[in-house]
Amino acid sequence: MSVISTSSGRVRGEIVDGIHRFRSVPYAAAPEGALRFAKPQPSTWDGERDATQRGPIAPQTVHKLPGLDLGAILGGDSPQGGDFLTVDVHSPDPSAGGLPVMVFIHGGAFVYGTGSAAVYDGMAFARRGVVLVTINYRLGIDGFLPLHGGDTNLGLRDQIAALHWVRDNASAFGGDPDNVTVFGESAGGMSIACLLGSPLARGLFRRAIVESGHPDMVRAPENARLLVDKVAERLGVPATAEAFRQLSTQQLQEAQTAVTTPGQGPDLRDGNGFDPGYAFAPFLPVLGDDVLPTNARENLNPDVDLITGHNAEEMRLYFAPSGLIDVITDQQALGILGATRSDAAEILARYGLGEKPTGEVFIAAMTDLVFADGARRLAEEHPGQAHRYRFDWRSPQFDGRLGACHGLELPFVFDTLPSAEALVGTQPPPELAKEMNAAWVRFAETGDPGWETGVVRSFGEISGS
């Protein structure tokens, strides 16, 4: 048993293989009742709170990919509930003091996921001397729908509230509040890229690792309003926070599922014919408030050291398991990209459409457009120190067609390969996991991950076996 006094109250965790583990510790009050669609508020309790069991995760509906079980990454089989604004903490020694702190923000297209998923287990980081924190935050309608009369960017506000909690309580778990590294993947990486330019996040972290993310997956208020109106129309209520507070979680989830289903949501392209969510992520951070006054690129914090990168074949995750990569036609590729880019034909032509296999052209183009180009630009434009990486190891799953897909680096970063067999297969290279985990820790400790700025560090230049 391990008992810690935090700014919110006392928590009782457990010691597992020498690591102190605390689960589902609230960093903010449950966003229910009057707190629904409102800024996060502090949570306090009397007595000693049990932090040995998994708690609820944010309300969500997991979108399953054909033939691929992503439960280890999404954690969607966990119970859902209202008191989910929590953190999990792994500490090597709460009495140590001065340990680097790493805070992970999960992905999931801003509509699903949890920091308590098995693949994000913090044991490997803690064994290397890090206080590892994973967080939950509001998703979908609850977190990223700017309703009239409600606070905006609530998911990002939750993340900022969690970082305030970490700063206030890091020392209680043995960590250094002045040496916090945030890292996240996909929607988590996009979130961190936004926080790099948010005035409300200044001073809350010293370093950042953005995996498959960048600050451009955000919406202008006028485009976000189209989504607000569509959801309200679907629910048959005014587009106000007060009206939405009267609805059940199930009602909101059903509406959310409907508008995220291809062909059922609104056209969210801007005046230039561009949808920053590429039609698969309607719920995004919104510009124009105190969290994101402008695109984060215009206000990147020069005092934050950065690692940013992506996987070599990101989009294979979405098109290889279903077999679509093998049968997609030129017209289908043009239609999918054309729904979000007015220059789709020109783009695909540059990648060899009509000369190379359509599936390969489509994957290469979409990987660059959705992930790689933004990551490169973020590194180039960051006014502080910036390192780049690319994850190249190819999964053997689906006869090798899964490749170096989106999210594949996560069980390597966390050194949790057994939790992600559906992604990595039965014989992934454990030495690559140890290499990546060590590099992330070294960066958190010193700001130097082990390779120079100005070069792209490749991880896993071998084939899956």
SS3 per residue for 233-285? HHHCCCCEHHHHHCCCHHHHHHHHHHHHCCCCCCCCCCCCCCCCCCCCCCCCC
Q: Is the per-residue pLDDT at 17 higher than 70?
A: yes
**Hey, what are 294's tokens?**
């402008």
Active-site choice (185, 313, 314, 445): 314
Report the C-alpha gap between 427 and 366 in whole angstroms: 29
**pTM score of the predicted model:** 0.96
**Residue 260 pLDDT grade (very low, low, confident, very high; cuts 50, 70, 90):** confident
The answer to whether the beta carbons of residues 188 and 213 sit under 8 Å apart is: yes
Query: What's the pLDDT at 75?
Result: 82
Query: What's the pLDDT at 464?
Result: 39
Query: What's the pLDDT at 261?
Result: 82
Residue 314 bears catalytic tag: yes
327 belongs to a structural domain: no
Residue range 228-252: average pLDDT? 97
**Residue 387 pLDDT grade (very low, low, confident, very high; cuts 50, 70, 90):** very high
Residue range 27-46: average pLDDT? 97
10 belongs to a structural domain: yes
Report the C-alpha gap between 90 and 5 in whole angstroms: 15
44 belongs to a structural domain: yes
What residues make up the domain containing 130? Answer: 2-220+283-307
421 belongs to a structural domain: no
211 belongs to a structural domain: yes
Average pLDDT, the chain: 95
Query: What's the pLDDT at 289?
Result: 97
444 belongs to a structural domain: no
CB count, 10 Å around CB of 355? Answer: 8
204 belongs to a structural domain: yes
Residue 419 bears catalytic tag: no
Active-site choice (214, 387, 406, 445): 406
CB count, 10 Å around CB of 98? Answer: 11
How many domains does the chain fold into?
1
- Which amino acid appears at position 159 of this protein? Q
**Residue 465 pLDDT grade (very low, low, confident, very high; cuts 50, 70, 90):** very low
Backbone torsions φ then ψ of 222, nearest 5 degrees = -65, -30
364 belongs to a structural domain: no
Handedness of CA 349, 353, 354, 355 (dihedral sign): positive
- Which amino acid appears at position 84 of this protein? F
Active-site choice (186, 191, 198, 395): 186
Query: What's the pLDDT at 463?
Result: 42
Q: Is the per-residue pLDDT at 100 higher than 90?
A: yes
Report the CATH number that the domain containing residue 141 is assigned in CATH. Answer: 3.40.50.1820
- For 272-323, how does the pLDDT look when each residue is reduced to its tens digit (9 = 90+)? 888 999 888 999 999 999 999 999 999 999 999 999 999 999 999 999 999 9
**Residue 249 pLDDT grade (very low, low, confident, very high; cuts 50, 70, 90):** very high
Going from the C-alpha of 330 to that of each of 218, 367, 386, the distances in angstroms are 29, 17, 38
**Residue 76 pLDDT grade (very low, low, confident, very high; cuts 50, 70, 90):** low
